[in-house]
Structure 1
Amino acid sequence: MKGFWEKYRLWVIITIAFLLIITVFSKNTVLEAMAIRRRIKVMQKEQQYYRERSKEDSTFLENLKQDWFLEKYARETFYMKGRGEEIYLLEE
């Protein structure tokens, strides 16, 4: 009676060769798939960040249409003042 190796040697070699071709030498290897998945996760996080940033910017633009907010923003950012007012800059 033949042993396992003698009986299935050809099939074992073919299977190993097939697995090597699929995992290492193929155009779409397992390593590339893992790298692509990592890139997708990073891009999804970036997408979420930019969506939140877009909402904040939209809110800011809507507020700029209000006179009171525009005046407040100009005073805080550009140190603008009204007539008869003085500005004092305090450093912490």
Structure 2
Amino acid sequence: MKRGLVRKFWIGATLLIIVLTAFAAGRNLIHAFKIRSQIRVLEREKALYEEKIARDSALIEQLKQDDFLEQYAREHFHMQRKGEKVYIIK
């Protein structure tokens, strides 16, 4: 009788350990998938920002030229010289 009780205890303990291990492993897998998806999103954002940096760097190089700087200021900031009339047509 005692032997059967001890055997049932060890079977129950083993099953409990297996269930807890499976639960912990499942949570770790879910966490890993979430982290991978976040990494993909951040890599897309990184590529977007690198592209924006390249465009802005090219604009900065162009703005170093006086002719382009004047044209840019007139178009984007509606600047004008004294005595000059500017008509904005949209």
Determine the C-alpha separation between the residues in 2 that align with 1:78 and 1:25. 59
Aligned pair count reads 76
Name the Cα RMSD after superposition. Answer: 2.4
Gaps of 5+ in 2: 1-10
* Residue-by-residue CA offset, 1:52-84 (whole Å, 9 max, x unaligned): 011011011111101111011110012122455
More helix, by proportion: 2
* 2:89 aligned partner, one-letter code: L
Gaps of 5+ in 1: 1-9
Tell me which residue corresponds to 1:50. Answer: 49
Q: CA deviation at 1:89?
A: 1.3
Tell me which residue corresponds to 1:17. Answer: 18
Determine the C-alpha separation between the residues in 2 that align with 1:46 and 1:54. 12
Determine the C-alpha separation between the residues in 2 that align with 1:29 and 1:43. 21
SS at match of 1:48: helix
Matches within 5 A, 1:2-13: none
SS at match of 2:80: coil
Tell me which residue corresponds to 2:86. Answer: 87
Determine the C-alpha separation between the residues in 2 that align with 1:39 and 1:56. 26
Determine the C-alpha separation between the residues in 1 that align with 2:65 and 2:48. 27
Q: Percent identity?
A: 38
Q: What TM-score does the superposition give when structure 2 sets the normalisation length?
A: 0.70
